[in-house]
Amino acid sequence: VPQGLLRLARKSGQLNLAGRGLTHVPEHVWRINVDTPEEAQQNLSFGAADRWWEQTDLTKLILASNKLQSLSEDVQLLPALTMLDVHDNQLTSLPSALGQLENLQKLDVSHNKLRSLPEELLQLPRLRSLLVQHNELSQLPEGLGQLLSLEELDVSNNQLTAIPTSFALLVNLVRLNLACNQLKELPADLSAMKSLRQLDCTKNYLETVPPKLATMASLEQLYLRRNKLRSLPEFPSCKLLKELHAGENQIEILNAENLKQLSSLCVLELRDNKIKAVPEEITVLQKLERLDLANNDISRLPYTLGNLPQLKFLALEGNPLRTIRRDLLQKGTQELLKYLRSKIQDDGPGPNEEPPVTAMTLPSQSKVNIHAITTLKLLEYSDKQAAEIPEAVFDAVGAHAVATVNFSKNQLREIPPRLVELKDSVCDLSLGFNKISSISLELCLLQKLTHLDLRNNVLTALPEEMEALKRLHTINLAFNRFKVFPSVLYHLPALETILLSNNQVGSIDPMQLKGMDKLGTLDLQNNDLLQVPPELGNCEQLRSLLLEGNPFRTPRAAVLAKGTAAVLEYLRSRIPS
């Protein structure tokens, strides 16, 4: 550690040693306030600026992003520390001497390999922020509730299966992050946290939320995404709740009574559930600004939704809506609300009656939307659960040039052969959410294709004949059954984006990828990559490389979290010279 840095630290009380590749902390750092500085021993004459005997005690020490495997007990020689940051190292334990830093207010030990926290940590009377996310903790100290000054606690991305009951004592806690653990339930005692404003329980195994939590009067943001909830919890006392995120659960019913209690709600996010109906009472949410109901089973909406005065964003795609034309959904929230309001005036059918078959329902019910073909150059037959595309759909195209084809969300088992009739004009083809198991040669004749969406099918391979798609620049193959990276992709020179997440790909060829000059995005999340070849670091054309959710050991999550440039640099550093 350069002497100049230490000199500055003595004046400012702050020392930043982040990202220096340190495997241990030099002893003179711990002793910075104990030992006489070197310059004093050299018997020099001092200007006013260098009067070392007027030094300031160290209050902030940053050791983040190094290679530290342990911290010395000598940390107790810095009793004035108010902030200690050692995130992104390789620590497996913490020294018990931390408990003697009675002025410590913020401790960041996130992104390490900690399996436990020392009991001595509970002796820090002034600790306000404790960040331990991204470690390997399977439990927390039972007495954690003794940290009465705590305002922020982040234990996300660990392996916790339970929360200590003493949490109830943390009455000053404002933010609590429990996301990405293995919690099956929350203790009802959490309701004693009277100051809690933000609670994040994303990605656990919660099936219910304790009714007592509803008494948390200060709660403003609640994240329950990616759990196993079957119904929306009740919140009678949460009068300040502004954001409720409960997407990716198994919620089937929106209870009108529950909605009535959420008068302050601005954001309600319920996408990817199994909700069948939206109650008229949703209109009591007068402050609602964002409502996300995408990918549910909603077949009709209450027209009174159009009367919500603050609503700026309404997401409904992926629902089997009967009374709303698809092109209307694509025009955005304001047009949609305007349409819903216009329907309130009509003495149209009530929300529970079958709508009459009129001009209003025809475009989405009928087989072909001629208007879309002629003006939008769009051929759409999606979300019909059809086993094949009716002949009438292709017949309707006639001499018109169709640029976009959307046959997603059906039950197709093969590529519709008549697609070849559109080969002179179609650029964008969507066949996602079907049951297609192989790619026919007809598809390889669509040589104007630039975008191809085949996500959520049962594909295991792509034919070499796809090499003919020289203009293809985006391909989406997520959620299929690929066990190997489709080799034909290496031979498509125009490819800019390859989305291959959620397959079972075990390896990639970095030399071939390097030859793909245009490739900017490569998504390989949630595959079976056991290792990442260091040579991938030479693919400097990549602007977005996504590798999370694979079983490889390195690069570690902390490196992945820093983004693509850092991952590529890390991989280059591992290439054997």
Domains in the chain: boundaries: 370-573
103 CB-contact burial (10 Å; exposed 0-12 / middle 13-18 / buried 19+): middle
Question: Which residue type does 104 have?
Answer: L
pLDDT of 14 over the 90 cut: yes
- Token code pair at residue 201: 């329980």
Task: Quote the pLDDT of residue 349.
Answer: 41
Task: State residue 50's pLDDT score.
Answer: 54
What's the mean per-residue pLDDT of the chain?
A: 89
Nearby residues of 358 by Cβ (< 8 Å), 6 or more positions away: none
The mean pLDDT of 378-394, rounded to a whole number, is 90
Neighbours of 229 (CB within 10 A): 20
Q: Give me the mean pLDDT over the 271-279 stretch.
A: 93
How do residues 188-208 score in pLDDT, each as one tens digit?
Answer: 888 889 999 999 999 999 999
pLDDT tens digits, 543-559: 999 998 898 988 988 89
Specify the pLDDT at position 53: 57
Evaluate if residue 214 carries a pLDDT over 80. no
Count the residues in the chain. Answer: 577
Q: Please state the rounded mean pLDDT for residues 338-355.
A: 59
The CB density around residue 535, as the number of other CB atoms within 10 Å, is: 18
* Residue 263 CB coordination number (10 Å): 14
pLDDT for 299: 87
Decide if 144 contacts 163 (C-beta within 8 A). Answer: no
Residue 307 has pLDDT above 90, yes or no: no
pLDDT attached to residue 347: 39
pLDDT band at 145 (very low <50, low <70, confident <90, very high): very high
Res. 362: pLDDT tops 60: no
Please enumerate, as own/partner, the contacts of 360-368 that have beta carbons within 8 Å and a separation of 24 or more: 360/323, 361/322, 361/323, 363/325, 363/326, 363/327, 364/321, 364/322, 364/324, 364/325, 364/326, 365/322, 367/392, 367/393, 367/396, 368/392, 368/393, 368/396
Which of 3.30.565.10, 3.40.225.10, 3.20.20.70, 3.80.10.10 would CATH assign to domain 370-573?
3.80.10.10
**pLDDT value at position 280?**
86
Pairwise CA distance, residues 32 & 29, whole Å: 5
For residue 326, what pLDDT is reported? 76
CB burial of 144-153 (b: ≥16 within 10 Å; e: otherwise) equals bbbbeebbbb
- Residue range 502-514: average pLDDT? 94
The string of pLDDT tens digits covering residues 132-143 is 999 999 999 999
The two structure tokens encoding residue 150: 């705590």
Convert 32-70 into a string of H (helix), E (strand) and C (coil): CCCCCCHHHHCCCCCCHHHCHHHCCCCCEEECCCCCCCC
pLDDT > 80? residue 485: yes
